[in-house]
Structure 1
Amino acid sequence: MVTHPTITPSDRIRSLGDRRAASGLESRAALRTAAKTLRPDCKVRGKTVVITGANTGIGFQAARQLAAAGATIVLACRHPGRMADAARAIRSEHAGATIDEVTIDLGSLRSVEAAANIITDRHPHVDALINNAGMTGGPGWQTLDGVESCFGINHLGHFALTGLLLDRLLAAPEARIVSVSSTAHRFARLDLQDWPHPRIDGIYRTYAASKLANLLFAHHLHRRITAAGVSLRSIACQPGWVATKLLSSRPRDVRHRASGAALRAIGAFIAQPPEAGARALLLAAAADVLSGTYLGPTRWWRTRGPIGPERPSDGARDIDAARQLWDLSVELSGINFALLAEPAG
């Protein structure tokens, strides 16, 4: 079982921005400088970074670049074979890389708990948790816990993993929790009755709803961190339009094939490679970014370009909805984040 340390006054932050919601970055110039490259001597050297879905796409690219910068990387992936291939690929490029491999199925809360226990046993602290893994699912798909697959894997599994690793995050100075959302959240309908058993029809709409849930979680987590005064940061990001398998697969349901074909056609013109898409994750994990910030590409309708602060949709900033989603997630997962106070009001 995971044990929780006592929070003492020395654990509390008294620096600028600790008692208010972040409106942006401490320095946009610093962000632009950090965006150019992650050098081997950057601040992640010697730190432990857990990345879900790190065997492919932007998760793999983030793991690869952070390992090159000297971080200890914990790959947390569902498929052990593909995870091992990813670890070998990183080690072949960077012989001195420190890579750990932990199997996790975010669609099973039992698997999430087992993975969290392994990480806790192996690592005394976690400096960054990048909640990256995601899927689009299909009509009627459910997790092993009986909730809609996008909601269960993209949000609920990460909610539980974050709560179970909270003590290891608190054991690290200025640790951060990175929630990977998507610009698709802007197309989601904010209706709490759509979670965890949505009435909405369409695999892309359920995906968008799960990405909205990622942002509601990240921002409410930031509010709880601020209320507790602990040295954590909750940072959200979106990678832009990336040429990965996530939204490029052909839906099995004929009703969604036309929209899938349209997405692939658009992506052929504007999608960026995973190396570029990983930039938002890297900055969220390593740059001097305030808790509560949302990062994403700043050009081409937020699909590509330099990374900067972004304003989420109005629905993603709905405090009441975030609190209700949090309560629902606690009820479904059994993880209550007891170390973080509920914000007043």
Structure 2
Amino acid sequence: MQKYWSLDDAGSQMGRVAVVTGANTGLGYETALALAGKGARVILACRNPERAQAARERIAASVPGAQAEVRLLDTGSLTSVRNFAEDFARDYGKLDLLINNAGIMITPHFVTEDGIEGQLGVNHLGHFLLTGLLLPALLRTPGSRVVSLYSVAASWDGIQFDDLQFERGYDARKSYAQSKLACLMFGLELNRRLQAAGQGTISLAAHPGYSKSELSRHLPAPLRLMLSVFGGLIMQSTADGALPTLYAALGEDLHGGEAIGPSGRNETRGPPVVVTPNDNARDDDQRARLWAMSEELCDFRYPL
């Protein structure tokens, strides 16, 4: 019988520093809780300070002696990302784990304060810039990792390179799928570039399959009702949905460049395993093109 990775397989994380974006709820909260339970110092990087503080208090109640702190971060604001990175660099000389988790799903159309289409900005570009700004701390830290969260939606559509921000007609579903494919492509391309530069930091991507979260709040009402009634038949718990992220962050048998997802039912649920990314994500030219466009939109060049 195949033995799957579980949190019990992870060693102590005492002395390690982890940043988890969107850690106040859902998958991010479960990831932060698990890392704190293993002894890591966890920074809850969140947009809403009140909800983040409530999450920190829940972690403290569940994990006696937990090292968890709240820092303001809105991945939909490039200024907020830069401010977070500047404050982090001032207070910390190392970073062991960066979990790019924060996200939104199938939202009505909006643009960020930087004029970027919302789902692309929040899900991908904010994390693209954040990772680049925190890269010096990651590179100074032996055994450091970056984990980028994607979704089964990454296989729905490709990257709309000729209209990346849906200026010729917004489609919420396609925009979400594109943003999560971008997260997957970024995770893989970052690892390729780190290896090419001879760096020890590794990058992986992970997705939770079908798991319970607050992201469904923008789905049509009939679909939300159906999920509330039958969701237990097709969706796994939020804690189980966080296991692919935790495996990517802590699995000692991983070497970088892997994608992690659930093992069963077309990667919708089950214990975490290494999965095969879709063709778009494995295309070197597409990843390089997206990287160049992301650098331009963020007005940032990676120090690799």
Q: Which digits, 9 at most, give the CA deviation of each residue in 1:231-289, with x for residues without a partner?
A: 1101001111111111x2144xxxx5566666666634211111101101111111121
Superposition TM-score, scaled by structure 2 size: 0.93
SS in structure 1 at match of 2:217: coil
Residue 8 of structure 2 corresponds to: 37
Cα 1:51/1:268, change in 2 over 3 Å: same
* 1:249 matched to 2:213: no
The residue identity in structure 2 corresponding to 1:35 is S
1:78 offset after TM fit, Å?
0.2
Partner Cα distance (1:51, 1:106) in 2: 12
Among residues 238, 245, 254, which one is paired with 1:281 in the alignment? Answer: 245
Aligned to 1:113: 82
| 3-state SS of paired residue (2:23) | coil
Instruction: Give the fraction of aligned pairs with identical amino acids, expressed as a percent.
Output: 38
CA RMSD of aligned residues (A): 1.9
**Structure-2 residue corresponding to 1:188:** 157
Unaligned 5+ runs, structure 1: 1-28, 341-345
* 1:138 alignment partner, SS class: coil
- Residue 59 of structure 2 is matched in structure 1 by 90
- 1:118 offset after TM fit, Å? 1.3
Deviation at 1:216, TM superposition (A): 1.1
Going from structure 1 to structure 2, the CA distance change for 1:36 and 1:106 (only over 3 Å counts) comes to closer
Question: Which residue matches 2:281?
Answer: 316
Amino acid at match of 1:240: G
2:194 aligned with 1:230: no
Higher relative contact order (CA 8 A, sep 6+): 1
Aligned length: 302
Code of the aligned partner of 1:73 = V
What stretches of structure 2 of length at least 5 have no aligned partner?
none
Q: For the structure 1 residues 198 and 49, does the alpha-carbon distance in structure 2 shift closer, same or farther, using more than 3 Å as the test?
A: farther
TM-score in terms of structure 1 length: 0.83
1-side partners of 2:228 and 2:250: how far apart? 32
How far does residue 144 in structure 1 lie from its aligned partner after superposition?
1.1
Q: For residues 195-217 of structure 1, what are the alpha-carbon distances to aligned partners after superposition, in whole Å with 9 as ceiling and x for unaligned?
A: 23454643222111101000111
Q: Distance in 1 between matches of 2:108 and 2:170?
A: 8
1:269 aligns with 233
Name the SS of the counterpart of 1:110 in structure 2. Answer: helix
